Structure 1
C-alpha cells in the first residue's frame, strides 16, 4: 500500500537514523581526536576521491534530464563543488584541508593512493546515477538530509583535538552547513512528489540505502587499512608518500 507523504518521509529519515555513516567507528575516532596524523591524512586522501566524483555524478544526472526546471535547480550542485568566479568551490576547499594536514594538494588531486574499495564504492555510485531511473538517482542524494549534523560534529571535534583545524582548513564543512539544506529541501520534495506508488517508494528507499552503503563501505576500507588490522592493500596510500616539502604548508 502506498504510504502517505508524511509516512514515507519518516521512512527515509529512519534509514538515516539506522544506517548513516555518522555511526561508523572511524568517525568516532576522528571526531574524538583519537586518529593519528597519518590516519587523518588517509581519510583526507580517500574522501577527496568521493568529493571529486560528486560533480561528475551530477553532470551525468543532468545529461539525462529533459525537464529544464529540474536541470536549472540541480546544476548549482556542480557549481558548489567545482566553483565559480565568485565561489572557490568545495573541491578547492578540500585541497586546502589536504595541505593543512601536510599533504601535497597535487598528490591528493591525482587520486594516487586511493584505496581500491573506495574506488569501487564511489565508482558504483556514479554508475548508479548514470543508469537508474531519475527518481532513484535523486533519492540516493538524500543522505544530505543527515549531513549537516555530521558536519557540525566534525567541525567541533576537529577544532577541539587537532592543531591543523582552523577556519581555513575546515571551510569545506562550514560551507556545506548552508549548501546541503538547500539541496536537500529540493531533493526531498522532488522525491516525495514523484514517489507516488508503493513500488516507487520502495525503489527510492532502496536507493537511499544503497547510498548509505557507499558511504559506510569507504569508512570500512579506511578502518581496515589504517586502524585495525592496519593492512594497507596494494595501491593504497603509504604513510610518508605525497607529503608537502617541509615548510611548504
Structure 2
C-alpha cells in the first residue's frame, strides 16, 4: 500500500459550490483591484499613462480571437463550436469596420494614438508580451475544460466596463465618447459569455481533480491580467521618475 492509497479521497463539490468558489476567486483576484486600475477609475492617470495602457492592452485584444480559435479547435460538439465561434466574430468583426479590435483602435485614436503605432506594437512592454503570449500558449496546450475555465474572468468584465463608462466621461472628458464604444459593447457580451462558460465548466468538471483544474485555470488568467498591469504600472512609474 502506498502513501497515496492512505490519503482520503477528496470530496466532489456540488455544481453550485463550484460556481460559488469560481465566482469568489474571480472577484477576489480580478484586476479591478490592481492599483493601476484603481488610479484609472479615480481619475488619477495622466494622458501618457492612459496611452501606455491602451497601447499595451491592444496586444491582449488582438490575441483574444487567436486564443478563442485555439479553444474552438478543442471543442468536440458542433453546438459548442457554433456558440464559441461567436466570440471570434465579436472581436474580429464581420468586416474591418466592426468588432472589438476595431473599437479598441478607436479608443486608441481617442487618446491620441495612431492606428499604425498600435498595430505595429511599437509601445509593447516585454512583460505584457510575456503575459499575453503565456495565456495564448495556455489555451493552446491545456484541455478544453481548463481553457474555457480560464475565460471566466468574463464574469467580472461587465462590472469593470460599467465603471469605466461611468468614470471616464467624468475624469477624462478629453476622450471622445466614440472612443468608449468598446466598453459599452463588452457589457452584454461579458454577461453572455461568462454565463455560457460557467455552465460548461460546471457540466464538464465531474471529478474533484477537474474542479481543481478549473480553479487553477481561472487563477492563472487572473495572474495574466494582473501581470499585464504590473508591467504598465512599472513603465508609468519609470516615466515619472
Q: Is the 8 A contact 1:80 1:89 kept in 2?
A: yes
1:189 aligns with 2:193: no
TM superposition shift of 1:64: 2.6
CA distance in 2, matches of 1:219, 1:231: 16
CA distance in 2, matches of 1:117, 1:86: 29
TM superposition shift of 1:230: 4.2
85-94 or 172-181, which deviates more? 85-94
1:128 aligns with 2:153: no
CA distance in 1, matches of 2:74, 2:144: 8
TM superposition shift of 1:86: 10
TM superposition shift of 1:10: 0.6
CA distance in 2, matches of 1:63, 1:3: 29
1:23 aligns with 2:33: yes
Corresponding residue pairs, total: 231
Determine which of 101, 108, 113 is the counterpart of 1:98: 108
RMSD: 1.5
2:117 is aligned to 107
1:223 aligns with 2:233: yes
Q: Is the 8 A contact 2:74 2:143 kept in 1?
A: no
TM superposition shift of 1:58: 0.7
Q: Is the 8 A contact 1:223 1:230 kept in 2?
A: no
After TM superposition, where is structure 1 displaced by more than 6 Å over at least 4 residues in a row? none
1:82 is aligned to 92
Unaligned stretches of 5+ in structure 2? 1-10
Q: How does 1:1-249 map to 2 (within 5 A)?
A: 1-85=11-95, 88-227=98-237, 229-230=238-239
Q: Is the 8 A contact 1:98 1:105 kept in 2?
A: yes
Q: Is the 8 A contact 1:224 1:231 kept in 2?
A: no
1:239 is aligned to none
CA distance in 2, matches of 1:139, 1:72: 18
Length-normalised TM-score, structure 1: 0.89
Length-normalised TM-score, structure 2: 0.92
CA deviation string 1:136-157 (max 9, x = no partner): 0000000000111111111111
Q: Is the 8 A contact 1:42 1:222 kept in 2?
A: yes
